[in-house]
Amino acid sequence: MLNNYYHATRRVDFVGDTLAGDVSADVAIIGGGITGVSAALHLAERGYSVALLEAHDIGWGASGRNGGQALPGFGCSLHKLHALVGGEATRQLWEMSVEAVELLHAQIARFAIPADPVRGYLHAAIKPRHVRDLKLEQEELASLGAPAGRLLEGAEMRARLDSPRYLAALEDKISGHIHPYNYVLGLAKAAQAAGAKLYAGARISHVEEGTTLTLHAGAHKLRSKFLLVAGGAYLGGLMRGIAGYIMPVGTYIMATEPRADVRGLIPGNEAVADLNFVLDYFRRSADDRMLFGGRVSYSTLPPPSLGPSMLRRAVRVFPQLKDAKVEFLWGGNVDITVNRAPHFGRLAPNILFAHGFSGHGVALTGLAGKLAAEVIAGQAERFDVFTRIPHARFPGGRALRTPALLLATSWFRLRDLL
């Protein structure tokens, strides 16, 4: 049973364009997720002609399947980011990640997107070392001049998160959650209204580089001056220059039936995630279901007995859900990098890419599209702060990459148990 709750609760009427012949545009975009449609919107509003090509439907990939948790920051800690790029760049990156959350809420309001936006987030600690990590996070945020939330413990924490599993939780008033599929479709509809062409069912077979770029999609060609590559976990080996820098990882979510007791489990309606390497993340839906995510698959194949397994994980957090029913169950791939920091850059002066959001893409992808539009318009300074983050390919090449990652992550899975 794999059926996506977000698709069942779609409230945006959007129909993609059909590629029926050769076309030309100022900018071509590969990938119809949030990064691509955000770039299309910002470019079209600047007056560029834009042609986006998506192999499936708009929002088909991670942008329409994720946990809907919109937060600043990155898949790696601020402490690790500081070690990679230094203090000033870390401050700039943090501030842009906060801007990404504000941009998301601004676009939802501007285009009246029915994405059910909610503010509030709890970073939950299972073990004493997690509590220490949360205190370190408070210190790192304070050093950046960022608002550091309160650390909730004991009865105060249980009043906000009615679960016996957690020792503490760090309050975060910037972050929150949305309906991601309605959001990406709402952005796509706005981009289309601004003049961008968003072609669904247009799979790219190869790209000819040069001053004029030629993208081959079946029998048709798209010629453009610039290209943004935003295929994420579903790009495959299309662009050899960045192949191997990201790894597709399967992650899965279930939704219970609507329940009267769900509101009492998270009374403040925050989104929640724990600090384990293989983490649980969850939130209430607008119709009072528990949306609970977890499990990972490095083969990208759904684990066996996924529904019962996901429900067991949810009951471990909330014993109150022991009689719950799994009404929706879905998953998809996210793109992770070796260091879990986002990977932005150039393959040529006229070819940009942005991927590797490592589970932190709901908000940051929208800003990535805006920054790519800035580069094409001649303002590269902000995009280039991201390009300063050093990256490495996953070891082992295509044949051994997954076994190598499985071996490496076995240690972190074991550490989750300690």
The Cα–Cα gap between 179 and 63 comes to: 10
Q: Among residues 206, 230, 202, which one has the least CA distance to residue 42?
A: 230
Q: What mean pLDDT is predicted for residues 274-301?
A: 90
- State the Cα–Cα distance between residues 55 and 53, nearest whole angstrom: 7
**How many residues are present in the chain?**
418
State how far the Cα of 365 lies from the Cα of 354, in Å rounded to an integer. 8
Task: List Cβ neighbours of 47 (8 Å cut-off, separation of 6 or more).
Answer: none
Rounded distance between C-alpha atoms, residue 161 and residue 143, angstroms? 28
Is residue 298 within 8 Å of residue 403, measured between CB atoms? no
Instruction: Tell me the H-state helices in 277-342.
Output: 306-317
Q: What is the pLDDT of residue 398?
A: 54
387 class by beta-carbon count within 10 Å (0-12 exposed, 13-18 middle, 19+ buried): middle
> What's the rounded Cα separation, in Å, for the pair 284 and 290?
5
pTM: 0.94
- pLDDT for 230: 98
Query: Per-residue pLDDT tens for 36-69?
Result: 999 999 999 999 999 999 999 999 999 999 999 9
Q: Is residue 98 pLDDT above 80, yes or no? A: yes
Domains, in order of start, for the chain: 5-407 (3.50.50.60)
- Residue 6 per-residue DSSP state: H
3-state secondary structure of 156: helix
What distances in angstroms separate CA 2 from CA 15, 73, 302, 306, 330, one per listed residue?
A: 24, 30, 10, 10, 5
Q: Could you report the per-residue pLDDT of 309-357, keeping only the tens digit for each? A: 999 999 999 999 999 999 999 999 999 999 999 999 999 999 999 999 9
In this prediction, residue 302 has a pLDDT band, given cuts at 50, 70 and 90, of confident
Mean pLDDT of the chain: 93
Q: What is the pLDDT of residue 414?
A: 39
Could you tell me the CA-to-CA distances from 227 to 1, 25, 174, 258, 348 in Å, in that order?
Answer: 38, 10, 33, 44, 9
Helix (H, G, I), strand (E, B) or coil at 22: coil
* Among 394, 388, 253, 292, CA closest to 336: 394
Nearest 5°: phi and psi at 192? -65, -40
The residues pairing with 330 across neighbouring beta strands, listed in sequence order, are 253
In the predicted structure, residue 228 carries a pLDDT above the cut 50:
yes
Q: What are phi and psi of 30, to 5 degrees?
A: -100, 120
